[in-house]
Structure 1
Amino acid sequence: MNEVVDVILPCLNEAEALPWVLSRMPAGFRAIVVDNASTDESAAIARDHGAAVVEAPQRGFGAACHTGLLAASADVVCFMDADASLDPEELPRVVAALGTREQGPGLVLGRRRPSGRGAWPVHARFGNTVLARSLNRRAGTALHDLGPMRAARRAELLGLPLADRRFGYPLEMVLKAAAAGWTITEVEVTYRPRQGRSKVTGTVGGTVRAVRDMRRVLAEVAR
């Protein structure tokens, strides 16, 4: 691949996971770690491993993602979690599924296939399934997963009116891409047990907050 791809990694206290994640970034993929008020050494570790580091001025998962999108400069951008649950070496396959610009706007989601004990807790998988079904009914899609690893073109994403700055951001992206007539596809990716303490899917409370935010986005976009 000749063109650089920017990889946006929202980050909150991922010092334990970042060395593995950043060491596996493929050639041609440039890591942008968005520090969302970490209290550990995440930012310093990211810089030491060659990543660009930007500070998210607002707390929230969506705020970190959108800050990274605004900081990116590549034509194609990817998003993925920074907790080592996803392998950067799978990013080229996700980007390849995006197709060419001539084929029109597209969004590719990594459909997670759990590998290893504790990779995807039952409560988190159930919440994801319920939300995916609601999304499919609302948007006319046929997705199995809300896909934390994803790829799209930066300019086209910036053209979507993405307003959520919490956990609803990934779902809002799919809803509004579907409404705009984008091609939305899935590519299977491996989902590993995360490193470090989970803030979202590894806890029931975190999953409940994420589901609540996404249901709010579903209701708001449907108006």
Structure 2
Amino acid sequence: MTKINVIIPAFNEADSISYVIRDIPEKIDEIIVVNNNSTDNTEINAKQAGATVLTENSKGYGYACLKGMEYVSNKTERPDIIVFLDGDYSDHPEELTKIVAPIIDNNIDFVIGARVKRLREPGAMTVPQILGNWLATTLMKLFFGARFTDLGPFRAIKYHKLLELNMEDKTYGWTIEMQLKALKKNLTYTEIPVNYRNRIGVSKVSGTIKGAIFAGVKILGWIFKYSFNK
């Protein structure tokens, strides 16, 4: 039986987190919400919805993901697969079964949920997000021959392969770091088209000028770092 853990970084997602947890398929062994210094009822609502809730006071998407990984590493029974999922309800958690299927059925190492245009609600991705994804994936194709089309946060990876990546980014560069290191480690990977809707609440990254700029700088920084260290 394949053991699957879900890690959900969450900063002020009180209005959405219970919906995310509710829609995750029952076959999941543990849902781990990392409360990333929220000032609302994210922690309370996540606990009431049945998740394991951790606290990470250092703000940053990567900080929260690393906290979840630390927790998993200390478990007696570690999972076979880790799924990362945002807490804003923009992804459809019930599609997790599609995300993990290539790993379970075809022994793929790493799967990205690709937010393709035909499955996106109007306005679900901002112009900076769309342009940033296009630029990042184009550069990865040029520099590394990658086939990625998205930096989607809804993703699954074999647990032991995740450990091999030695993830380190603490903030906005987490997703691109994982994809670049997967390329460097020659992990097998694929993308699965997923539905994507308008999130509940305001985005902490694409919803602010500061967030969009810092995310862009992080993404480009990781790409150029790896392009010079091939």
Picking from 121, 141, 147, the partner of 1:142 is 147
SS in 2 for 1:28: coil
Q: Distance in 1 between matches of 2:137 and 2:154?
A: 15
Measured against aligned partners, the alpha-carbon deviations of 1:94-116 in whole angstroms (never above 9, x if no partner) come to: 10012468x4x611000003533
Partner of 2:5: 6
Q: Structure 1 residue 126 and structure 2 residue 131: aligned? A: yes
Partner of 1:60: 60
Q: Distance in 1 between matches of 2:60 and 2:210?
A: 16
The Cα of 1:207 is off from its aligned counterpart by 1.9
Q: Structure 1 residue 110 and structure 2 residue 113: aligned? A: yes
SS in 2 for 1:199: coil
The Cα of 1:137 is off from its aligned counterpart by 2.1
Q: Distance in 1 between matches of 2:162 and 2:105?
A: 15
Contact 1:132 1:144 in 2 (8 A): yes
Picking from 205, 208, 214, the partner of 1:203 is 208
Q: Which amino acid aligns with 1:160?
A: L
SS in 2 for 1:191: coil
Partner of 1:42: 42
Picking from 166, 170, 181, the partner of 2:171 is 166
The Cα of 1:188 is off from its aligned counterpart by 0.4
Mean alpha-carbon deviation: is it higher for 162-171 or for 56-65?
56-65
Q: Which amino acid aligns with 2:147?
A: A
Picking from 206, 218, 221, the partner of 1:213 is 218
Q: Distance in 1 between matches of 2:104 and 2:144?
A: 22
Partner of 2:89: 84
Identical counterparts, % of pairs: 34
Aligned residues: 220
Q: Distance in 2 between matches of 1:135 and 1:108?
A: 16
The Cα of 1:57 is off from its aligned counterpart by 4.8
Mean alpha-carbon deviation: is it higher for 45-54 or for 116-125?
116-125
Mean alpha-carbon deviation: is it higher for 158-167 or for 86-95?
158-167
Q: What are structure 1's unaligned runs of at least 5 residues?
A: none
